Amino acid sequence: MSTPEPRADSAAAPDSSVPDSSLPDAEAPSDARAPEGRTHRDVVSFVRRGERLSPSRQSAWDRLSEDYALDPPRGHRDTLPADEARLDLAELFGRRAELVVEVGSGLGENIVAAATAHPERDHLGVEVYRPGLAQTLARVDRAGRPANLRLLPLDAQRALPAMLPEGSIDELWVYFADPWPKARHHKRRIINPPFLDAVLPLLAPGARFRLATDWAQYAHHMRRELDAREELELLHPDGPRPEGTSSDRVPEGMASTGWAPRFEGRVKTSFENKGMQAGRLIWDLAYTRV
């Protein structure tokens, strides 16, 4: 039986338009008490799934992971960096160029296409789902092995602020993150205050923050969270909402303006196609760091 692919997010999520909420929570709330002698685990935006690799993905991993997949010292979990794990971008890429970071790079469609199309920039994909990383490496191979791309197999919320200096990211992407539609799972959504508190200081002045989702409820949630941040400003304050009707419920009070046109650098992934085939609208957002 094949392993489900992840939705784009800071890490693995099931390949489904609605996450499998029958699974028990993988992480406990950050303020939960752990039994004596044990360390509690924070809320995260993903559930780790089986990570067996197909023969082709295993081959790509064996041939290319040493060059492209970073392997920093780990903390108390394998998705967390150790305290001393820092990234020297000039050493990592052999230069200092504009840095594009995709949180939840999934199967690598966007980050590999961007690295190939823009050799003048450096690119970092953050993804904990190993089959997704292996598939990304297969794309890297087919793309001619661009030198301006690296993959970080850690939890973005914890790893990025620990490993990158403030002001080092010139463009940040979060595309089709798991919407976690049930109210009891909203704490798992990646676009929430803990994630924003962690990553927004990493954006350089004038940096772009691009997002997209095929879930109207999540689009509404993102607007509430992001519009409230004083350090962010909408790139398209007069941009109209997507045209057409959506098969999912559009919340009352959904903003009629402030939506971005489709970013020409965003590849149409399987998740976007599934959303469109299900009759859902695609909601794009773009902000700048002021």
SS3 percent helix, strand, coil of the chain, rounded to 5, is 30, 15, 55
Say whether 227 counts as a known binding-site residue: no
Among positive and negative, which fits the CA dihedral 28, 6, 23, 77? negative
CB count, 10 Å around CB of 198? 16
Say whether 182 counts as a known binding-site residue: yes
| CB 287 within 8 Å of CB 208 | yes
Reduce the DSSP state of residue 139 to 3 states and report it.
Answer: helix
Distance (Å, whole) CA 281 – CA 38: 44
Active-site residues: which are they?
A: 178
Say whether 127 counts as a known binding-site residue: yes
Spell out the residues 6+ positions from residue 236 whose beta carbon is closer than 8 angstroms to its own. 258, 259, 260, 261, 286
Distance (Å, whole) CA 155 – CA 194: 13
Say whether 84 counts as a known binding-site residue: no
Q: Which amino acid is at 197?
A: D
End-to-end CA distance of the chain: 48
Say whether 230 counts as a known binding-site residue: no
Say whether 272 counts as a known binding-site residue: yes
CA 121 to chain centre: 19
Which among 51, 2, 49 is positioned nearest to 23, based on CA atoms?
Answer: 49
Per DSSP, 102 falls in state E
Distance (Å, whole) CA 25 – CA 78: 18
| CB 92 within 8 Å of CB 84 | no
Q: Measured between alpha carbons, how far is residue 83 from residues 89, 161, 188, 228 in Å?
A: 18, 11, 24, 31
Binding residues for S-adenosyl-L-methionine: 102, 127, 155, 178
Binding residues: 102, 127, 155, 178, 182, 214, 269-272
